[in-house]
Amino acid sequence: MAKILIVGCGSIGGQLAFELIAKGHAVVALKRHPPPIALEDLIYFAADVTELTSLKELPVDFEVVYFIVSPDGRTADSYQAVYERGINNLLEVFSSGGSSPRWIFVSSTSVYGQTQGEWVDEQTIAQPDSITSHFIRQGEIRLIDASVHNIVVRFSGIYGPGREYLLRIAHQIPSIQQYPSYYTNRIHQQDCVGVLLFILESHLAGSVMDSYYIASDDDPAPMWEVMNWLAQQLNILGPTVKVVQQDVIQNKRCNNQRLKKLGYEFQYSDYKSGYNALLEERGYN
């Protein structure tokens, strides 16, 4: 069993911690404001990764570090604080302590700047088109430069309980681009936890690992299709057609074959299975 640090133990990190503890791993969760009551056997360490002094008492004898930190806001400064200063601070602490744990870094498919419906995979050049995604990409590079054994997992749009943005939009009868198709990519948060656990287990089993993995379901579907399907399930009016120019942004389509070839099986392989489960929880089905 491994000693594991989860940096940024929010909804996904917290669920991951529960799964890891159930499998017998020793887990420490680094969080700025730990809850008053922790899971049994989960140890919290209160610290802010953007402040080096708050990390001075952090143990360094971890085999694996999960980095699942969310910036405070959608600003360049917030992203730079987490993905530049935060990562550098942790690397300095581990280096000073003579420790070199393997990192599993939660990134985003937003590091791909493609906008014309192209397929992207881990061999596609990642050139972000926003300053916030630029700092995520710089964090990826910093960690892979630190060790080729570190792993970057690029999640697409996360949905699930508490992440119900599209359900709220559907009720507003939105205007949606129909032609050309605007593709969306997503992953259920249960699969986010599943992927992170699977990556660790593959590593501990001695599997040959790549540096980068795209974690997105099997069905990068047009938003028009998704919103119409949701409207049918909710028994509400569907979206109206948004008239656009032919050269408008069409987003991208994420290829998950590297992760699947490693052996991961999605619990929710497309938006219909994932949203059906979510709607059933909400009493719609």
**Cis, peptide link before residue 180, omega less than 30° from 0:** yes
Contact 41, 99 (CB under 8 A): no
pLDDT of residue 182: 93
Contact 25, 4 (CB under 8 A): yes
Query: Distance (Å, rounded) from C-alpha 50 to C-alpha 78?
Result: 10
In a domain? residue 281: no
In a domain? residue 175: no
How many folded domains does the chain comprise?
1
Residue 8: domain span:
3-163+185-218+256-269
In a domain? residue 35: yes
CATH number at residue 135: 3.40.50.720
In a domain? residue 134: yes
Q: Across the chain, what does the average pLDDT equal?
A: 93
pLDDT of residue 165: 87
pLDDT confidence bin for 119, thresholds 50/70/90: very high
pLDDT confidence bin for 41, thresholds 50/70/90: confident
Nearest-10 Cα torsion for 141, 132, 175, 275: 50
pLDDT of residue 285: 57
pLDDT confidence bin for 49, thresholds 50/70/90: very high
What does 173-185 look like in DSSP terms, one character per residue? --EEETTTT-EE-
In a domain? residue 127: yes
